[in-house]
Amino acid sequence: MIKQFINKVLKRKQTNSTLKVTVIGPSKHHIDKNHISHCALGVIKQLQEAGFQAYIVGGAVRDLLLGKTPKDFDVATNATPEQVKRIIRRSRIIGRRFQIIHVQCGQEIVEVSTFRAKSGKESLHQQVDEHGRLTRDNVFGTLEEDAERRDFTINALFYDPQKNEVLDYFDGVKHLKQKHITMIGEPIQRYREDPVRMLRAARFCAKLGFTLDNACKEPISTLNELLLNVPESRLFDELLKILLSGHAVNSLEQLRQLNLGSYLIPSLDNTLSDKQGALFIQQALLNTDQRIEKELGVSPSFLMATLLWPSLNLRWQQYLNKGEKTLPALFTAIHEVLVEQDEVLMIPKRFEGTMKEIWGLQPRFEQRSGQRPFKLLQHPRFRAGYDFLILRAQVGEIDPAIGQWWTEFQHAKPEDRETMLVKPDRPITRKRRKPKA
Ligand code: ATP
Ligand code: MG
Protein backbone atom coordinates (compact mmCIF):
# COMPACT_ATOMS: atom_id res chain seq x y z
CA MET A 1 0.00 0.00 0.00
CA ILE A 2 2.75 2.42 1.06
CA LYS A 3 4.89 1.24 -1.85
CA GLN A 4 2.01 1.89 -4.24
CA PHE A 5 1.60 5.35 -2.81
CA ILE A 6 5.33 6.12 -3.17
CA ASN A 7 5.32 4.85 -6.74
CA LYS A 8 2.35 7.06 -7.51
CA VAL A 9 4.02 10.10 -5.99
CA LEU A 10 7.25 9.41 -7.85
CA LYS A 11 5.33 8.68 -11.06
CA ARG A 12 6.91 5.22 -11.14
CA LYS A 13 5.47 2.71 -13.54
CA GLN A 14 4.51 -0.72 -12.21
CA THR A 15 6.00 -3.57 -14.19
CA ASN A 16 6.91 -7.17 -13.66
CA SER A 17 10.14 -7.03 -15.56
CA THR A 18 11.42 -10.40 -16.73
CA LEU A 19 14.61 -9.13 -18.32
CA LYS A 20 17.61 -11.36 -17.81
CA VAL A 21 20.84 -9.69 -16.86
CA THR A 22 24.38 -10.85 -17.53
CA VAL A 23 26.80 -9.68 -14.86
CA ILE A 24 30.30 -9.25 -16.22
CA GLY A 25 33.03 -9.29 -13.61
CA PRO A 26 36.56 -7.79 -13.76
CA SER A 27 38.13 -10.96 -15.15
CA LYS A 28 36.08 -10.43 -18.33
CA HIS A 29 35.77 -6.67 -18.86
CA HIS A 30 39.23 -5.12 -18.18
CA ILE A 31 37.90 -1.65 -17.43
CA ASP A 32 40.73 0.60 -16.32
CA LYS A 33 39.54 2.60 -13.32
CA ASN A 34 42.13 5.28 -14.10
CA HIS A 35 39.93 6.22 -17.07
CA ILE A 36 37.00 7.04 -14.78
CA SER A 37 36.37 10.56 -13.56
CA HIS A 38 36.76 11.11 -9.81
CA CYS A 39 33.64 13.18 -9.91
CA ALA A 40 31.52 10.30 -11.25
CA LEU A 41 33.11 7.87 -8.77
CA GLY A 42 32.35 10.25 -5.89
CA VAL A 43 28.73 10.73 -6.97
CA ILE A 44 28.15 6.99 -7.21
CA LYS A 45 29.80 6.31 -3.86
CA GLN A 46 27.66 8.90 -2.09
CA LEU A 47 24.43 7.67 -3.68
CA GLN A 48 25.20 4.05 -2.86
CA GLU A 49 26.13 4.91 0.72
CA ALA A 50 22.76 6.62 1.04
CA GLY A 51 21.15 3.32 0.05
CA PHE A 52 20.44 3.96 -3.63
CA GLN A 53 21.46 2.15 -6.77
CA ALA A 54 23.87 4.12 -8.94
CA TYR A 55 25.78 3.22 -12.10
CA ILE A 56 27.85 4.77 -14.85
CA VAL A 57 25.79 4.43 -18.03
CA GLY A 58 25.68 5.07 -21.75
CA GLY A 59 28.61 6.12 -23.88
CA ALA A 60 31.03 6.19 -20.95
CA VAL A 61 30.65 2.43 -20.28
CA ARG A 62 30.89 1.74 -24.00
CA ASP A 63 34.11 3.75 -24.26
CA LEU A 64 35.58 2.23 -21.08
CA LEU A 65 34.99 -1.27 -22.44
CA LEU A 66 36.70 -0.23 -25.66
CA GLY A 67 39.71 0.93 -23.62
CA LYS A 68 39.10 4.61 -24.35
CA THR A 69 38.84 7.53 -21.93
CA PRO A 70 35.23 8.74 -22.08
CA LYS A 71 34.73 12.45 -22.77
CA ASP A 72 31.95 12.73 -20.23
CA PHE A 73 30.17 10.62 -17.65
CA ASP A 74 26.49 9.96 -17.12
CA VAL A 75 25.19 8.36 -13.94
CA ALA A 76 21.83 6.60 -13.58
CA THR A 77 20.20 6.02 -10.23
CA ASN A 78 16.92 5.08 -8.56
CA ALA A 79 17.14 8.24 -6.42
CA THR A 80 14.81 11.01 -7.55
CA PRO A 81 16.30 14.35 -8.60
CA GLU A 82 15.23 15.85 -5.27
CA GLN A 83 16.93 13.04 -3.37
CA VAL A 84 20.12 13.37 -5.45
CA LYS A 85 20.14 17.09 -4.77
CA ARG A 86 19.93 16.50 -1.03
CA ILE A 87 22.76 13.95 -1.05
CA ILE A 88 25.26 15.53 -3.43
CA ARG A 89 26.78 18.94 -2.89
CA ARG A 90 27.29 21.23 -5.89
CA SER A 91 24.35 19.62 -7.66
CA ARG A 92 21.45 21.37 -9.33
CA ILE A 93 18.28 20.24 -11.00
CA ILE A 94 17.90 21.17 -14.64
CA GLY A 95 15.27 20.56 -17.31
CA ARG A 96 11.55 20.73 -17.07
CA ARG A 97 10.21 17.88 -19.19
CA PHE A 98 12.43 15.35 -17.53
CA GLN A 99 14.50 16.64 -14.68
CA ILE A 100 18.11 15.63 -14.41
CA ILE A 101 20.88 16.68 -12.08
CA HIS A 102 24.13 18.36 -12.98
CA VAL A 103 26.96 17.83 -10.54
CA GLN A 104 29.77 20.30 -11.01
CA CYS A 105 33.36 19.31 -10.12
CA GLY A 106 35.61 22.12 -11.29
CA GLN A 107 35.33 22.22 -15.07
CA GLU A 108 33.65 18.85 -15.24
CA ILE A 109 29.91 18.22 -15.14
CA VAL A 110 28.52 14.77 -14.37
CA GLU A 111 24.93 14.24 -15.42
CA VAL A 112 22.80 12.20 -13.01
CA SER A 113 19.41 10.94 -14.15
CA THR A 114 16.77 8.91 -12.40
CA PHE A 115 15.94 5.55 -14.01
CA ARG A 116 13.30 6.14 -16.65
CA ALA A 117 10.68 3.75 -17.99
CA LYS A 118 10.49 2.78 -21.65
CA SER A 119 7.78 4.39 -23.69
CA GLY A 120 4.78 2.16 -23.60
CA LYS A 121 1.16 2.83 -24.12
CA GLU A 122 0.11 6.40 -23.96
CA SER A 123 -0.35 7.32 -20.33
CA LEU A 124 -0.71 10.32 -18.15
CA HIS A 125 3.01 10.96 -18.34
CA GLN A 126 3.69 9.75 -21.87
CA GLN A 127 2.36 11.35 -25.02
CA VAL A 128 2.97 10.65 -28.67
CA ASP A 129 2.19 12.80 -31.69
CA GLU A 130 0.34 11.58 -34.81
CA HIS A 131 3.58 10.04 -36.17
CA GLY A 132 4.24 8.02 -33.02
CA ARG A 133 6.93 10.41 -31.78
CA LEU A 134 7.20 10.64 -28.02
CA THR A 135 6.53 14.18 -26.98
CA ARG A 136 6.47 13.54 -23.26
CA ASP A 137 8.01 10.68 -21.33
CA ASN A 138 8.63 11.71 -17.79
CA VAL A 139 8.02 8.41 -16.08
CA PHE A 140 10.47 7.13 -13.52
CA GLY A 141 11.23 3.44 -13.75
CA THR A 142 13.38 0.58 -12.55
CA LEU A 143 16.91 -0.29 -13.57
CA GLU A 144 15.58 -2.87 -16.05
CA GLU A 145 13.16 -0.40 -17.56
CA ASP A 146 15.89 2.17 -17.85
CA ALA A 147 17.99 -0.34 -19.79
CA GLU A 148 15.08 -1.12 -22.07
CA ARG A 149 14.28 2.47 -23.01
CA ARG A 150 17.83 3.14 -24.26
CA ASP A 151 18.50 3.16 -27.99
CA PHE A 152 21.23 0.67 -28.97
CA THR A 153 22.39 -2.43 -27.13
CA ILE A 154 25.93 -1.04 -26.83
CA ASN A 155 24.48 2.04 -25.08
CA ALA A 156 22.53 0.07 -22.48
CA LEU A 157 25.39 -1.10 -20.30
CA PHE A 158 25.58 -0.22 -16.60
CA TYR A 159 28.84 -0.18 -14.68
CA ASP A 160 29.07 -0.36 -10.92
CA PRO A 161 32.57 0.91 -9.99
CA GLN A 162 32.29 -0.27 -6.39
CA LYS A 163 31.63 -3.87 -7.39
CA ASN A 164 33.62 -3.46 -10.61
CA GLU A 165 30.80 -5.15 -12.54
CA VAL A 166 29.05 -4.43 -15.82
CA LEU A 167 25.33 -5.22 -16.09
CA ASP A 168 24.31 -6.19 -19.60
CA TYR A 169 20.65 -6.82 -20.47
CA PHE A 170 20.81 -6.94 -24.28
CA ASP A 171 24.11 -8.58 -25.26
CA GLY A 172 25.70 -5.15 -25.55
CA VAL A 173 29.16 -6.48 -24.68
CA LYS A 174 28.93 -9.16 -27.36
CA HIS A 175 27.84 -6.54 -29.91
CA LEU A 176 30.72 -4.29 -28.89
CA LYS A 177 33.14 -7.13 -29.61
CA GLN A 178 31.42 -7.77 -32.93
CA LYS A 179 31.50 -4.03 -33.79
CA HIS A 180 27.82 -4.25 -34.33
CA ILE A 181 25.15 -1.60 -33.76
CA THR A 182 21.67 -2.88 -33.14
CA MET A 183 18.55 -1.42 -31.65
CA ILE A 184 16.88 -2.53 -28.46
CA GLY A 185 13.37 -3.59 -29.45
CA GLU A 186 11.73 -3.14 -32.81
CA PRO A 187 13.70 -0.64 -34.95
CA ILE A 188 10.73 0.85 -36.81
CA GLN A 189 8.84 1.56 -33.61
CA ARG A 190 11.93 2.93 -31.90
CA TYR A 191 12.66 5.26 -34.84
CA ARG A 192 9.05 6.41 -34.82
CA GLU A 193 9.22 7.20 -31.11
CA ASP A 194 12.33 9.26 -31.68
CA PRO A 195 13.57 9.82 -35.26
CA VAL A 196 16.81 11.33 -33.94
CA ARG A 197 17.87 7.74 -33.27
CA MET A 198 18.47 7.45 -37.04
CA LEU A 199 21.03 10.24 -36.84
CA ARG A 200 22.54 8.71 -33.72
CA ALA A 201 22.94 5.41 -35.59
CA ALA A 202 24.92 7.20 -38.30
CA ARG A 203 27.04 9.03 -35.72
CA PHE A 204 27.94 5.89 -33.76
CA CYS A 205 28.79 3.95 -36.93
CA ALA A 206 31.18 6.74 -37.91
CA LYS A 207 32.63 7.34 -34.47
CA LEU A 208 33.20 3.72 -33.56
CA GLY A 209 33.79 2.30 -37.05
CA PHE A 210 30.94 -0.17 -36.39
CA THR A 211 28.34 -1.62 -38.76
CA LEU A 212 24.65 -0.97 -38.45
CA ASP A 213 22.44 -4.04 -38.32
CA ASN A 214 20.40 -4.55 -41.53
CA ALA A 215 17.13 -4.49 -39.60
CA CYS A 216 18.11 -1.05 -38.30
CA LYS A 217 19.44 0.20 -41.62
CA GLU A 218 16.63 -0.72 -44.00
CA PRO A 219 13.71 1.22 -42.48
CA ILE A 220 15.71 4.45 -42.53
CA SER A 221 15.20 5.01 -46.26
CA THR A 222 11.45 5.37 -45.66
CA LEU A 223 11.39 6.72 -42.11
CA ASN A 224 13.94 9.50 -42.76
CA GLU A 225 11.07 11.91 -43.48
CA LEU A 226 10.06 11.69 -39.82
CA LEU A 227 12.98 13.96 -39.08
CA LEU A 228 10.86 16.80 -40.45
CA ASN A 229 8.65 16.57 -37.34
CA VAL A 230 11.50 16.80 -34.85
CA PRO A 231 11.94 20.16 -33.11
CA GLU A 232 14.65 22.07 -34.95
CA SER A 233 16.65 22.88 -31.83
CA ARG A 234 17.06 19.16 -31.18
CA LEU A 235 18.10 18.48 -34.78
CA PHE A 236 20.60 21.30 -34.67
CA ASP A 237 22.09 19.95 -31.43
CA GLU A 238 22.48 16.57 -33.08
CA LEU A 239 24.05 18.14 -36.17
CA LEU A 240 26.61 19.86 -33.94
CA LYS A 241 27.31 16.59 -32.11
CA ILE A 242 27.96 14.99 -35.49
CA LEU A 243 30.23 17.79 -36.67
CA LEU A 244 32.13 17.99 -33.39
CA SER A 245 32.41 14.24 -32.87
CA GLY A 246 35.99 14.19 -34.12
CA HIS A 247 34.70 11.92 -36.91
CA ALA A 248 32.86 14.45 -39.01
CA VAL A 249 34.23 13.17 -42.34
CA ASN A 250 33.00 9.63 -41.69
CA SER A 251 29.74 10.84 -40.15
CA LEU A 252 28.81 12.86 -43.19
CA GLU A 253 29.55 9.87 -45.39
CA GLN A 254 27.30 7.73 -43.17
CA LEU A 255 24.55 10.32 -43.32
CA ARG A 256 24.80 10.32 -47.08
CA GLN A 257 24.72 6.54 -47.35
CA LEU A 258 21.67 6.40 -45.09
CA ASN A 259 19.90 9.19 -46.98
CA LEU A 260 19.76 11.40 -43.92
CA GLY A 261 22.04 14.30 -44.84
CA SER A 262 19.49 16.39 -46.71
CA TYR A 263 17.25 16.48 -43.61
CA LEU A 264 19.96 18.49 -41.92
CA ILE A 265 21.51 20.37 -44.81
CA PRO A 266 19.31 20.42 -47.93
CA SER A 267 22.15 21.48 -50.25
CA LEU A 268 24.43 18.68 -49.04
CA ASP A 269 23.62 16.02 -51.65
CA ASN A 270 24.20 18.42 -54.54
CA THR A 271 27.35 19.75 -52.93
CA LEU A 272 28.83 16.32 -52.39
CA SER A 273 28.05 15.17 -55.90
CA ASP A 274 30.08 18.09 -57.26
CA LYS A 275 33.84 17.41 -57.29
CA GLN A 276 34.93 20.84 -56.13
CA GLY A 277 32.16 21.08 -53.51
CA ALA A 278 32.98 17.65 -52.11
CA LEU A 279 36.67 18.56 -51.94
CA PHE A 280 35.90 21.74 -50.00
CA ILE A 281 33.69 19.98 -47.45
CA GLN A 282 36.14 17.11 -47.07
CA GLN A 283 38.99 19.50 -46.40
CA ALA A 284 36.93 21.57 -43.94
CA LEU A 285 35.85 18.53 -41.96
CA LEU A 286 39.30 17.00 -42.07
CA ASN A 287 40.74 20.20 -40.57
CA THR A 288 37.99 20.08 -37.93
CA ASP A 289 38.65 16.46 -37.00
CA GLN A 290 42.37 17.25 -36.72
CA ARG A 291 41.70 20.25 -34.47
CA ILE A 292 39.49 18.13 -32.21
CA GLU A 293 42.17 15.46 -32.05
CA LYS A 294 44.62 18.13 -30.87
CA GLU A 295 41.97 19.43 -28.42
CA LEU A 296 41.86 22.82 -30.15
CA GLY A 297 38.61 24.77 -30.21
CA VAL A 298 36.21 24.51 -33.13
CA SER A 299 33.59 27.12 -33.95
CA PRO A 300 30.14 25.84 -34.94
CA SER A 301 29.51 29.01 -37.00
CA PHE A 302 32.68 28.42 -38.96
CA LEU A 303 31.69 24.83 -39.61
CA MET A 304 28.19 25.75 -40.72
CA ALA A 305 29.68 28.46 -42.95
CA THR A 306 31.84 25.84 -44.65
CA LEU A 307 28.98 23.37 -45.14
CA LEU A 308 26.84 25.90 -46.98
CA TRP A 309 29.67 27.60 -48.84
CA PRO A 310 29.90 25.42 -51.99
CA SER A 311 26.22 25.97 -52.72
CA LEU A 312 26.53 29.66 -51.90
CA ASN A 313 29.65 30.09 -54.00
CA LEU A 314 28.00 28.46 -56.99
CA ARG A 315 25.14 30.94 -56.81
CA TRP A 316 27.53 33.82 -56.25
CA GLN A 317 29.51 32.92 -59.38
CA GLN A 318 26.31 32.61 -61.39
CA TYR A 319 25.26 36.14 -60.43
CA LEU A 320 28.74 37.44 -61.24
CA ASN A 321 28.58 35.77 -64.64
CA LYS A 322 25.33 37.57 -65.25
CA GLY A 323 27.21 40.82 -64.72
CA GLU A 324 26.17 41.66 -61.18
CA LYS A 325 28.62 43.50 -58.92
CA THR A 326 30.68 41.51 -56.39
CA LEU A 327 28.98 42.43 -53.13
CA PRO A 328 25.32 42.55 -54.23
CA ALA A 329 25.86 39.19 -55.95
CA LEU A 330 27.37 37.73 -52.78
CA PHE A 331 24.59 39.02 -50.54
CA THR A 332 21.85 37.75 -52.83
CA ALA A 333 23.52 34.32 -52.82
CA ILE A 334 23.82 34.40 -49.01
CA HIS A 335 20.15 35.26 -48.68
CA GLU A 336 19.07 32.47 -51.04
CA VAL A 337 21.18 29.81 -49.45
CA LEU A 338 19.94 30.67 -45.95
CA VAL A 339 16.30 30.66 -47.07
CA GLU A 340 16.82 27.18 -48.54
CA GLN A 341 18.56 25.99 -45.37
CA ASP A 342 16.04 27.48 -42.96
CA GLU A 343 13.16 25.73 -44.71
CA VAL A 344 14.57 22.43 -43.48
CA LEU A 345 16.59 23.31 -40.41
CA MET A 346 16.82 26.82 -39.08
CA ILE A 347 20.30 27.84 -38.02
CA PRO A 348 20.11 29.69 -34.68
CA LYS A 349 20.52 33.43 -35.19
CA ARG A 350 23.62 33.62 -32.99
CA PHE A 351 25.44 31.38 -35.47
CA GLU A 352 23.91 32.84 -38.60
CA GLY A 353 25.25 36.33 -37.82
CA THR A 354 28.85 35.09 -37.63
CA MET A 355 28.43 32.96 -40.74
CA LYS A 356 27.32 36.01 -42.72
CA GLU A 357 30.33 37.95 -41.48
CA ILE A 358 32.75 35.18 -42.46
CA TRP A 359 31.26 34.99 -45.95
CA GLY A 360 30.97 38.76 -46.30
CA LEU A 361 34.67 39.21 -45.57
CA GLN A 362 35.83 36.96 -48.42
CA PRO A 363 35.88 39.57 -51.22
CA ARG A 364 37.70 41.97 -48.91
CA PHE A 365 40.70 39.63 -48.77
CA GLU A 366 41.21 40.19 -52.50
CA GLN A 367 42.03 43.86 -51.84
CA ARG A 368 45.65 44.20 -50.90
CA SER A 369 46.35 47.86 -51.54
CA GLY A 370 45.79 51.15 -49.74
CA GLN A 371 44.30 51.24 -46.24
CA ARG A 372 41.88 48.36 -46.71
CA PRO A 373 44.13 45.48 -45.55
CA PHE A 374 44.88 47.43 -42.34
CA LYS A 375 41.18 47.90 -41.69
CA LEU A 376 40.51 44.23 -42.35
CA LEU A 377 43.16 43.22 -39.80
CA GLN A 378 41.16 45.10 -37.16
CA HIS A 379 37.89 43.37 -38.00
CA PRO A 380 36.60 41.27 -35.07
CA ARG A 381 36.04 38.30 -37.41
CA PHE A 382 39.38 38.64 -39.19
CA ARG A 383 40.71 35.35 -37.82
CA ALA A 384 37.66 33.31 -38.83
CA GLY A 385 37.53 35.03 -42.23
CA TYR A 386 41.23 34.35 -42.76
CA ASP A 387 40.91 30.66 -41.79
CA PHE A 388 38.06 30.41 -44.27
CA LEU A 389 40.19 32.04 -46.96
CA ILE A 390 42.98 29.54 -46.32
CA LEU A 391 40.50 26.72 -46.71
CA ARG A 392 39.43 28.13 -50.07
CA ALA A 393 43.09 28.41 -51.06
CA GLN A 394 43.77 24.82 -49.93
CA VAL A 395 41.26 23.46 -52.42
CA GLY A 396 42.38 25.77 -55.21
CA GLU A 397 39.27 27.92 -55.19
CA ILE A 398 41.36 31.08 -55.02
CA ASP A 399 44.96 31.85 -55.86
CA PRO A 400 47.06 30.35 -53.00
CA ALA A 401 49.31 33.43 -53.28
CA ILE A 402 46.50 35.53 -51.75
CA GLY A 403 46.29 33.23 -48.73
CA GLN A 404 50.08 33.26 -48.42
CA TRP A 405 50.15 37.07 -48.62
CA TRP A 406 47.64 37.38 -45.75
CA THR A 407 49.56 34.87 -43.66
CA GLU A 408 52.69 36.98 -44.03
CA PHE A 409 50.94 40.35 -43.78
CA GLN A 410 49.30 39.66 -40.44
CA HIS A 411 52.53 38.41 -38.88
CA ALA A 412 54.78 41.12 -40.38
CA LYS A 413 56.12 43.96 -38.25
CA PRO A 414 53.83 46.98 -38.55
CA GLU A 415 56.60 49.02 -40.23
CA ASP A 416 57.08 46.33 -42.92
CA ARG A 417 53.42 46.05 -43.81
CA GLU A 418 53.41 49.21 -45.98
CA THR A 419 56.05 47.71 -48.24
CA MET A 420 54.00 44.55 -48.70
CA LEU A 421 50.99 46.31 -50.14
CA VAL A 422 50.17 45.42 -53.71
CA LYS A 423 50.26 48.28 -56.18
CA PRO A 424 46.81 48.92 -57.58
CA ASP A 425 46.40 48.09 -61.29
CA ARG A 426 45.36 51.61 -62.04
CA PRO A 427 46.09 54.68 -59.97
CA ILE A 428 43.36 55.54 -57.54
CA THR A 429 42.06 58.96 -58.46
CA ARG A 430 39.23 60.92 -57.08
CA LYS A 431 36.67 62.13 -59.51
CA ARG A 432 36.78 65.84 -59.26
CA ARG A 433 33.89 68.02 -60.10
CA LYS A 434 34.57 70.23 -62.99
CA PRO A 435 35.11 73.73 -61.72
CA LYS A 436 32.21 75.91 -62.59
CA ALA A 437 32.90 78.03 -65.55
P1 ATP B 1 28.52 10.13 -26.75
O2 ATP B 1 29.81 9.43 -26.61
O3 ATP B 1 28.37 10.76 -28.07
O4 ATP B 1 28.17 11.05 -25.60
P5 ATP B 1 26.39 8.57 -25.70
O6 ATP B 1 25.93 7.17 -26.01
O7 ATP B 1 26.86 8.82 -24.30
O8 ATP B 1 27.44 8.96 -26.76
P9 ATP B 1 24.46 10.60 -25.17
O10 ATP B 1 23.72 11.45 -26.12
O11 ATP B 1 25.42 11.23 -24.23
O12 ATP B 1 25.18 9.50 -26.04
O13 ATP B 1 23.38 9.77 -24.35
C14 ATP B 1 23.69 8.99 -23.22
C15 ATP B 1 22.89 7.71 -23.24
O16 ATP B 1 21.50 8.02 -23.16
C17 ATP B 1 23.03 6.86 -24.47
O18 ATP B 1 24.14 6.02 -24.39
C19 ATP B 1 21.74 6.09 -24.50
O20 ATP B 1 21.78 5.02 -23.60
C21 ATP B 1 20.76 7.11 -23.96
N22 ATP B 1 20.13 7.88 -25.04
C23 ATP B 1 20.53 9.07 -25.54
N24 ATP B 1 19.72 9.49 -26.52
C25 ATP B 1 18.78 8.55 -26.66
C26 ATP B 1 17.65 8.38 -27.50
N27 ATP B 1 17.35 9.29 -28.42
N28 ATP B 1 16.91 7.27 -27.36
C29 ATP B 1 17.21 6.34 -26.42
N30 ATP B 1 18.25 6.44 -25.62
C31 ATP B 1 19.05 7.51 -25.71
MG1 MG C 1 27.44 10.76 -23.50
Domains of the chain in start order, with CATH, are 1-178 (3.30.460.10), 265-422 (1.10.3090.10)
State the pLDDT at residue 221.
96
pLDDT tens digits, one per residue of 347-375: 999 999 999 999 999 999 998 888 898 99
Q: Output the pTM of the full model.
A: 0.87
C-alpha 74 to ligand 1 mean position (Å): 9
Q: Is 59 in the pocket of ligand 1 (CB under 6 A)?
A: yes
Q: Is 74 in the pocket of ligand 1 (CB under 6 A)?
A: yes
Contacts of 302 (CB under 8 A, 6+ apart): 354, 358, 384, 387, 388
Mean pLDDT along residues 171-200? 97
pLDDT tens digits, one per residue of 101-136: 999 999 999 999 999 987 554 455 566 677 767 655
User: Cα–Cα distance between 242 and 349 in angstroms, integer?
Assistant: 20
**10: confidence class by pLDDT, cuts 50, 70, 90:** very low
Q: Is residue 168 annotated as a catalytic residue, yes or no?
A: no
pLDDT of 436 above 80: no
State the pLDDT at residue 88.
95
DSSP letters spanning 52-115: --EEEETHHHHHHHTTPPPSS-EEEESS-HHHHHHHSTTEEEE-SSS-EEEEEETTEEEEEEE-
CA 51 to chain centre: 36
User: Cα–Cα distance between 271 and 314 in angstroms, integer?
Assistant: 10
**427: confidence class by pLDDT, cuts 50, 70, 90:** low
Residue with CA at minimum distance from ligand 1 atom 6: 59
State the pLDDT at residue 217.
98
* Cα→Cα distances 14→19, 113, 123, 143, Å: 14, 19, 12, 12
- Under DSSP, the state recorded for 152 is B
> 384 near 302, Cβ under 8 Å?
yes
Closest ligand 1 atom to the C-alpha of 197? 27
pLDDT of 245 above 70: yes
The whole-chain average pLDDT of the chain stands at 89
Q: Where does residue 112 fall: left (phi above 0), alpha (psi -120 to 50 degrees), or beta otherwise? A: beta
Exactly one of 74, 137, 194, 289 is catalytic; name it.
74
CA 379 to chain centre: 29
Mutation to probe ligand 1, out of 151, 166, 190 (largest number of atoms < 8 A from CB): 151
Mean pLDDT along residues 178-196? 97
pLDDT of 11 above 50: no
Mean pLDDT along residues 376-384? 94
Reference 387, options 311, 310, 302, 309; nearest CA is 302
Q: Which of 4-8, 253-257, 422-426 has the lowest mean pLDDT?
A: 4-8
> 276 near 397, Cβ under 8 Å?
yes
pLDDT tens digits, one per residue of 313-323: 999 999 999 99
Q: Is 310 in the pocket of ligand 1 (CB under 6 A)?
A: no
C-alpha 393 to ligand 1 mean position (Å): 38
**Higher model confidence: residue 17 or residue 213?**
213
C-alpha 373 to ligand 2 mean position (Å): 44
C-alpha 321 to ligand 2 mean position (Å): 48
State the pLDDT at residue 13.
43
Residue with CA at minimum distance from ligand 1 atom 22: 150
pLDDT of 6 above 80: no
Q: Is residue 137 annotated as a catalytic residue, yes or no?
A: no
User: Cα–Cα distance between 55 and 48 in angstroms, integer?
Assistant: 9
pLDDT tens digits, one per residue of 55-99: 999 999 999 999 988 989 999 999 999 999 999 999 999 987 778
Strands (E), 302-352: none
State the pLDDT at residue 131.
73
pLDDT of 420 above 90: no
Residue with CA at minimum distance from ligand 1 atom 4: 59
Say what percent of the chain tops pLDDT 70. 89
Closest ligand 1 atom to the C-alpha of 190? 28
Q: Is 194 in the pocket of ligand 1 (CB under 6 A)?
A: yes
Q: Is residue 213 annotated as a catalytic residue, yes or no?
A: no
> 132 near 195, Cβ under 8 Å?
no
Q: Is 150 in the pocket of ligand 1 (CB under 6 A)?
A: yes
State the pLDDT at residue 1.
47
C-alpha 374 to ligand 2 mean position (Å): 45
